[in-house]
Amino acid sequence: MKRDACFQLLASLLPDDIVVSTYSSAFEWLAIRPHPLNYVAVGAMGLASSHALGLALAMPQRRIVVLDGDGSLLMNLGTLVTIAAAAPKNLIHFVSRNGSYEANGGHPIPAQGVLDFAGIARSAGYRHTESLSELSAFAAKVPALLSASGPTFVELHLEPGDTTPAPDYEHIHGVRARREFSEALARGEGFRATMESHQ
């Protein structure tokens, strides 16, 4: 699978949800689904899932989706145990597995061919886990995964190769993106759609 194809499919199913993304996944997601409820977790590698957990616990009636990377998750594997213990029903954790620290020059992650992220999440206590390598299977399963009672973990096996648009660091590090996110939350943007999806 290619990450942009997976994200385009997700974007069609997540018109107004809070989506936490990091590094290369963030730049691709922002290009595919520009939205004030995009929350970009950069500057502290590996903490996207921790940020998503905080949002999920603070807003249990909203669906929180995190778009993580395999290199990022390796920097913070303990988050899997923390998320499983907190057991937020509204958290869906996607990990783009392309086998590299893409944001840092494409160096390979360790334990290629051995590491099983979905297996680690399952052992940590996530309620639902999936490992998908075909876009057709992803398309078939993702609606149910998004509506399941979480926490849910989905490992996406992606083809190597960077499809990321030119990074807009001014946007992700700027005040405007954070202000727009806060203002959208204050307005309750997307809240009704999220509530209906959990009924």
Domain boundaries, the chain: 3-197
Taking 60 as the threshold, does the pLDDT of residue 104 lie above it? no
Q: Which residue has the tokens 């993702």?
A: 142
Note the pLDDT tens digit of each residue in 109-148: 666 777 899 999 999 999 999 999 999 999 999 999 999 9
* Cα 100 to Cα 98: distance, rounded to the nearest angstrom: 6
Mean predicted confidence (pLDDT) in 34-41: 90
Evaluate if pTM is beyond 0.95: no
In three-state secondary structure terms, 27 is: helix
The CA-to-CA distance between both ends of the chain, in Å, stands at 32
Element (H, E) at 79: helix 78-86
Cβ-based neighbour number of residue 182 at 10 Å: 11
Query: Following CA atoms 180, 151, 81, 52 in sequence, which dihedral angle do they give, to the nearest 10 degrees?
Result: 0
Cβ–Cβ < 8 Å for 191, 59 = no
- Residue 67 phi, psi dihedral angles, 5° rounding: -105, 100
C-alpha to C-alpha distance for 16 and 184, rounded to whole angstroms: 10
Beta strands 107-108 and 128-132, pairing class = unpaired
When pLDDT is cut at 50, 70 and 90, the band that residue 151 belongs to is: very high
Residue 195 pLDDT > 50: no
pLDDT band per the 50, 70, 90 thresholds, residue 103: low
**pLDDT classification of 199: cutoffs 50, 70, 90:** very low
CB 157 within 8 A of CB 99: no
The architecture CATH gives domain 3-197: 3-Layer(aba) Sandwich (3.40)
pLDDT at 159: 85
